[in-house]
Amino acid sequence: MSFVESFEPKAVWRHFDEILAVPRASKDEEAIRRHVVAKADAAGLEHQVDKAGNVVIRKPGTAGHEDSPPTILQAHLDMVQEKNSDVDFDFATDAIKPVQDGEYLTADGTTLGSDNGIGVAASLAVMEADDLVHGPLEFLFTVDEETGLTGASELDESLLIGRRLINMDSEEEGALCVGCAGGADTELLLPIDTDAVPEGSTALALDLAGLKGGHSGVDIHLQRANAIRLLSRFLAKAARETELRLADFAGGSAHNAIPREARAVVVLPVADRPLFEATVTAEYEAARAEFASVDPGLSLSINDANAPAAAWSLESTARSLQLLDTLPHGVLGMSYDIPGLVETSTNLATVKSTGDELSIKLSTRSSVDSALEALRGRIHSAGLLAGATIIEEDGYPGWKPDMSSELLTVLKALSEDVYGHAPEVGAIHAGLECGIIGEKCPGMDMISFGPQIEFPHSPDERVKIDSVGRFWKLLVLTLEKLA
């Protein structure tokens, strides 16, 4: 345990402090699942686990409210595991190191996991509480949200009795979320031809780092730099002026995180080195000026590397860089209906060379189904032109707002009491499990709210400490009102 357990409300922060020491990678949630189930057993509550690994725990209503309609509290168990390259940390074994930075809690060089650890902690606090007023409760803990909403997609909906759900995976204090974008991922597998490295060549390693990254839905409108896009841009320019051959290219770490770092190894004639370095450096300086206000930490190093036995052919190098330079990234359209809401975007998320092919993954989002498919079609076309094999996932549905929602009516009134002003009601350009759960459970009344969490999916992730108290107060009042 750490200093975190001393924060108010202790009922929530104590659980979050414990969670900091529990591994909870997407697709590997066994440790955190055991932790949650152990809490249910200790409280004498029944639980069920479906085939996907989702957990449902039930708690009876308090005295006089046993027969009220059930309410579902929902949070996901996994977290995005990002760290700075210079940080020695193993998410599978090491406890996250919390750091207080003024009014915020962050972590030492890694993601904090407040997304969605605060939601999990709040659920556990309600589970254990004996001084709250509430009707029957169902606690739904889903798995693998961060890499494709898999837990929600494979949820055994027969485990849920309730038809009103509070999702605690929102990250803007004082806002009520009643809708979200749908999305889908695409992978392009580009074949690579290799040749022996010509005599008289030199090998160089390029490392681009220092970017802020962030959540590819929540932060995409900030127009931060994409490490893959920048490094491919630099190299594409150099490849037009030198006999550049790639030997390796890698960048990004998750489909829903804007890439913060990218690395390439190149070989080229010794005589071309001065021109290559001058060209790349000029492009880097131009990019540094372009992104100075949003990504001031952008850095690029060029160092000698061990000469590989083989490198990509000139044709494969050119084709790969041209494809990376062509693929879309960022905001592609704004909503006509909700001012300020991103409608359509894509994240050029990861790139990795594996033997004889280059894997490129993109994550596309939109609140309009036709726009989502049109953008995926554009990516498909670019892949075909380059000669790539294209793998398209089915994706997940959006969540259409219901402005007549009973939950919305209740939360609007209570939010004004808690925050002193009318809440902002809207949708977000990110995938929430509500879209899938609503499709699987017709008639489900849903809403999402949470504390102030900033820069999720990056080592800059932070949660505003006192916002957790207001979030908790709103949750407790809501449960009492619904009882």
Q: What is the mean pLDDT of the chain?
A: 95
What is the pLDDT confidence band of residue 394, given thresholds at 50, 70 and 90? Answer: confident
pLDDT digits (tens, 9 = 90+) for 33-71: 999 999 999 999 999 999 999 999 999 999 999 999 999
Look at residues 80, 105, 97 and name the one whose alpha carbon lies nearest to residue 21.
97
Check residue 385 and give its pLDDT: 97
Q: Looking at the predicted structure, is the pLDDT value of residue 230 above 90?
A: yes
CA dihedral sign of residues 420, 426, 431, 432: positive
**What are the catalytic residues?**
78, 145
Name the token pair of 359.
């894997």
The model's pTM: 0.76
Domains, the chain, ordered by start = 3-181+398-482 (3.40.630.10), 184-392 (3.30.70.360)
- 358: Cβ contacts below 8 Å, ≥ 6 apart: 189, 190, 192, 249, 320, 351, 352
pLDDT digits (tens, 9 = 90+) for 440-469: 999 999 999 999 999 998 899 999 999 999
Check residue 112 and give its pLDDT: 98
pLDDT digits (tens, 9 = 90+) for 318-332: 999 999 999 999 999
Q: Looking at the predicted structure, is the pLDDT value of residue 92 above 80?
A: yes
